[in-house]
A and B are shown apart, each in its own frame.
Chain A
Amino acid sequence: MFDTLSDRLSGIFGKLRGKGKLTDADIDATAREIRLALLEADVALPVVKAFIASLRERARGAEVSQALNPAQQIIKIVNEELIQILGGEGRRLQFAKQPPTVIMLAGLQGSGKTTLAGKLSRWLKNQGHQPLLVACDLQRPNAVNQLQVLAQRAGVDVYAPQPGNGVGDPVQVARDSIEHAKRTAKDIVIVDTAGRLGIDAEMMQQAADIRAAVDPDEVIFVIDAMVGQDAVRTAEAFRDGVGITGVVLSKLDGDARGGAALSVRHVTGQPILFASTGEKLEDFDVFHPDRMAGRILDMGDLLTLIEQA
C-alpha cells in the first residue's frame, strides 16, 4: 500500500548528504512521514504526538553526517528513540526474598494469559524452579480445563479447587493457593485470571481483590500485539485498576507491526518483559526492544546498514 518509510524519507531528502543542518521544511516533511508510519503501525495517537514532538527537537540539533544520508540519519534517531522508549536493556522477573514468588496475569479477553501461564511455568521449571499454576478464571467456559491441560504439558502442578464455568470464588482460590504452594514446596505461584474489560468496574475490582489476596511480586499485563488505538485506554485501565509491574506482548508471531508495545510502555512506564510468539509452550522469548523498534518501523535491513556505517 505504501512505500517503506526509508524510501519515502529518501525521497524527501534527495541529495542532501553532507550539507550542514536539516532545514525546518525537511524536518516537517520527515515528521509527517514518521507520524504516518507510526499510525500505520497502530501506535496510539497521543503517543505518536509525544514521540513526534521529541523527534523534532532532536532533529533540529542534528548535524547532517558525512557517513549517513539525512534519511538514514533521521531513521537512526527515530530508531534510537524507539528503543529507548521500548525499554533499552529490559529487566528480569522479580523474585520474592521469601518464596513463593507470586506472578499474577491480567488482561483483556483472549489476549493470551492462560497460554502465557503455561509458557512461564515451563520456562521457570527449566530453570530449576517448582512453579504452581493457579486457576482463578472461574468464568470462561473450560478455562480451568485449559490451564490443567497446559500444566500437564509443561509438567507442573496446578491448583484448581473449583470447577469454574461460573462456580467458585476466584479471590478465595487465589488466597488459598499461597498456603497450598507453601505446603507443597512450590517456590513460584502463577495466577491465571479471567479476561476482563477495562471499563468493567466489577471485574476490575475482582482483579484488585485477587491482587490484594496474593500480594504478587509481579502483576503482568498481557496484551495482544494486534491491538490498535485502544491500547492506551486499556493500559490505563489496568494500570489504575489493578496496578501492573510488567508487560507481555503476545501473538508476536503474527504480521501486525505491534505499535501497541509503544503505547503500553508510554502509558504504564513498566517494562515489557517477554514476547509470546506462538501457541506452543516453547514459543516464548525475552523481549528485545531493538527488534521491536525495527518491526514497528518496518525497517529490517536498513538498520543493519546504518549500524555498519
Chain B
Amino acid sequence: ARSQSVLGRGLLSVLSRDHLEEEDWEEIEESLISADVGIEATQVIVERLRERVRILGTRTVAEVREQLIEELVEALEPGLDRSLKTASHEGRPAVVLVVGVNGAGKTTTCGKIGRVLIGDGGTVLFGAADTFRAAAADQIQTWGERVGAETVRGPEGGDPASVAFDAVKRGIDTGVDTVLIDTAGRLQNKVGLMDELGKVKRVVEKHGPVDETLLVLDATTGQNGLEQARVFTEVVDVTGVVLTKLDGTAKGGIVIAVQRKLGIPVKLVGLGEGPDDLAPFEPKAFVEALVDGDA
C-alpha cells in the first residue's frame, strides 16, 4: 500500500524548495498510475499540469495538488449531464438496460437504482434477462422483493431477449414508470455473447427506444476497463457508467480514460452491497479520493 498520500512525501521535501524536481513529477505520475488511470491518460494529464505550473509559476506542492485536481476534474468533463433518464413516456415506461462483464455488480446496481426510484415515489419493474448464470433470476427477484418491484423472469436457459421484451410489455401493461433490465455478465471478447446482447436491445426496442444503457464497471478493474467500455458501446451504445465497489481500496481511475477516449460519463457510484449504497458521481470528490491515496 502507498502509506503516504500522494504528494505527501513531496510536501515535506518540496515545500522548502522553490521548484519541483523531476522526482516530484515522477511521484505525481506514479500516483495516477497506481490509481489505474493508465499510462496514456497519465502522461497527457501530467504534461498539461507541467505546462500550467510553468506558466503560472506555481511553487508549493499544495498548489500543484490543487491544479492536479483541477486537471483531473476537467478530464472528467464536470459540466456533463449525469442524470438518469428514468421518467416514463406517454403510455410507456422508461427502459434502462444494465450491462457489463461478469461479477461487476449489475444485479446489485439494478436493485439499488430500483430502490432510489421507488423511494422517490416511482414504480419499477425488473426484467431478469440473465437466464444463464446459476440463480441469477432468483437474485434479482430477491432484490425486487427487497425494494418493492415486480420481477419478470423466463425459463432458465431461455432467450434473454424475449424475457427483456416480456418485461417491457408487462411494464407497459401495468403502467410502471421504469423497467430495469438486468443482463447476464459477459466478457467483451466473446463475440457470440455480445451479439446476443445486441439482440436483447434490438428486441426491446420494438416497444420504443431504450432510454439509458448503463455499463457497470468494477472499480478494481485495470486497463481492460477501457476495452470493456469500447466494445460494449459499439454493441449497445452505452449512455453512462456505474462505477461499483468504490467502497474498497481501488480508485477506479480507468473511468478517466473511458471519459477521455469515449466520452461516456460516469453517472453513479456503488459504495457497498446494501440497497442504499448508491450515490451520484461527483467528479471533484472522486478525484480528491483518487489523488489523496489511502484515506
The answer to whether A227 touches B220 (Cβ under 8 A) is yes
Interface of B is mostly: loop
Query: Does A70 make an interface contact (CB < 8 A)?
Result: no
* B108-151 interface code vs A (CB 8 A; 1 in, 0 out): 00010000000000000000000011111011001100100000
Query: Does A5 make an interface contact (CB < 8 A)?
Result: no
Known contacts A108-B220, A228-B220; A39/B1 CB under 8 A: no
Listed from nearest, the 7 A-B pairs whose CB atoms lie closest are A228-B222, A110-B103, A42-B222, A149-B134, A256-B224, A230-B250, A145-B135
| Chain B CB within 10 Å, residue with most, of A40, A197, A226, A260 | A226
Segment from B13-21, B35-43, B69-77, B86-94 that makes contact with A: B35-43
Residues of A within 8 A of B38 (CB): 40
* A149-166 interface code vs B (CB 8 A; 1 in, 0 out): 110010000000000010
Query: How many B residues, CB 8 Å from partner?
Result: 48
Residues of A within 8 A of B273 (CB): 109, 139-140
Query: Does B249 make an interface contact (CB < 8 A)?
Result: yes
Q: How far is the CB of B106 from chain A (nearest CB, A)?
A: 10
Given contacts A227-B222, A228-B223, A255-B188, 20 further A-B contacts (CB under 8 A): A40-B223, A44-B34, A45-B33, A45-B34, A112-B103, A140-B273, A141-B143, A146-B133, A149-B134, A149-B135, A227-B220, A229-B33, A230-B219, A230-B250, A233-B249, A251-B101, A251-B187, A255-B224, A260-B222, A279-B102
The answer to whether B142 touches A230 (Cβ under 8 A) is no
Q: How far is the CB of A169 from chain B (nearest CB, A)?
A: 18
The answer to whether B142 touches A141 (Cβ under 8 A) is yes
Interface residues, chain B, with chain A CB atoms under 8 Å away:
1, 30, 33-36, 38-40, 101-105, 107, 111, 132-136, 138-139, 142-143, 146, 185, 187-190, 218-225, 227, 245, 247-251, 254, 273
> When chains A and B are docked, how far (Å) is the Cα of A146 from the Cα of B101?
18
Known contacts A139-B273, A141-B142, A228-B220; A110/B102 CB under 8 A: yes
Interface residues, chain A, with chain B CB atoms under 8 Å away:
1, 36, 39-42, 44-45, 108-112, 114, 118, 139-143, 145-150, 153, 165, 197-199, 224, 226-230, 232-234, 236-237, 251, 253-257, 259-260, 279
Residues of A within 8 A of B101 (CB): 226, 251, 254
Residues of B within 8 A of A42 (CB): 36, 222-224
The answer to whether B103 touches A109 (Cβ under 8 A) is yes
The answer to whether B220 touches A142 (Cβ under 8 A) is no
> When chains A and B are docked, how far (Å) is the Cα of A294 from the Cα of B153?
43
Name 15 A/B residue pairs within 8 A (Cβ), A-sorted: A36-B39, A109-B105, A112-B102, A140-B273, A142-B139, A146-B134, A146-B139, A148-B135, A149-B134, A149-B135, A226-B221, A228-B250, A230-B250, A233-B1, A255-B227
